[in-house]
Amino acid sequence: MKWITRERPKIDRIACPWLIKKMVDAQAEFLYVPFDQVLPAARELDAIPFDVPGAHLTHYNEYCTFDAIIKEYNIKDPAIDIIAVIVRAADTDRHQLAAEAPGLWAISAGLSHNYINDQEQLQQGMIIYDALYSWAKYHYKEKHTQQPFEKLLLEVYHTYLDKKSKGKKIPAWVKELKELMQDQIDTNISLKEISKDLEVNAAYLSREFSKYFDNLSFGDYLRKQRIEKAIDLFQNPDYTLTDIAYLTGFSDQSHFTRIFKKHTGKNPSAYRKALVKK
C-alpha cells in the first residue's frame, strides 16, 4: 500500500513510516510531496495520507500522528508505548513529557539537515528507530552508570567535586541579577543591558548564567519566571488572559499562549480553570 505525507520530514513523518512498516504494513511504500499536494495526490494514487490537516491519521487533541496510528490499528506493545511518549514530546515541543525528547529532536533535526533527499533521510531514520525500539524493549530500565567504571567516577564526583561546588561562594552579581529580573519581568530586557547595570562583562555573564539559574539560559530562565508569575496572577479573577500576558512581558496573548503551553503542556485558559477548581 502507498502512504503519503508532507516533504522535508523531521520527527513524526519519520517515526510514523517506521511504525507502519514494523506494525501495520511491511510492504508499505512512502511518498513525500509538497504540503498542498498531499491530499490530491493521495486520491490520485490511492494512497493513505498521514500527518497533514484533513487526513484521518494526523494530530488530535494533544497527541501526534504516531499516537493516531497506534490507536487506529490497536497496536499493543509496551516498547511502542514508551517510544510514543518520546515522539509526542519531541514532535509537539513538550520536552517535559520525556527526558529523551530533546535528544530525539536533536538527532531528527541533524538528520534532516544532512539529507536533502527525503527517501535517503527515511532510510537512515529507520535505523535510528530500530535502535530506539531495541532500547525501549531491552534496556529501558538500564542506566549507563551501572557499569563499574562509571559508578566509580560518579562516586568520586559526589564525594569530592559535588561537595566542592556546593561550598563555592555565590558571586554578589547573582543576587543582584535575580532582583533585577524580578523588577523588570514585564519589560523587554536583555543580558547585554543588564550586564551594564551590574558592571559585569556580558560574555562572562552569558557563560556563567546557567551555573546559578537552574541550568537554564537567560532566555529560558526569564520565560520560566514569567510563566510562574502568570500562574500567580491566574488567582485574580479581575485579570483577563490578555491582561496577564501584558503584565508578564509577553508581546501579545498569542505569544503568551504558545510559550505557556510549551512550558506546562496546557493552554493558559485550561490551566486557569483547573487551578480555580482546586
Where do the domains of the chain lie, and which CATH numbers do they carry? 2-139 (no CATH), 172-277 (1.10.10.60)
CA atoms of 89 and 60, how far apart (whole Å): 14
pLDDT band at 277 (very low <50, low <70, confident <90, very high): low
In this predicted structure, the answer to whether residue 83 has a pLDDT above a threshold of 70 is yes
CA–CA distances in Å: residue 151 to residues 54, 76, 155, 251: 51, 36, 6, 47
Quick: pLDDT tens for 34-57: 999 999 999 999 999 999 999 999
Q: What cell was used for 261?
A: 503551553
The strand pairing partners of 6, in sequence order, are 33
If residue 4 lies in a helix (H) or strand (E), which one and from where to where? Answer: strand 2-6
Q: What was the pLDDT predicted at 13?
A: 97
Q: Which amino acid is at 92?
A: T
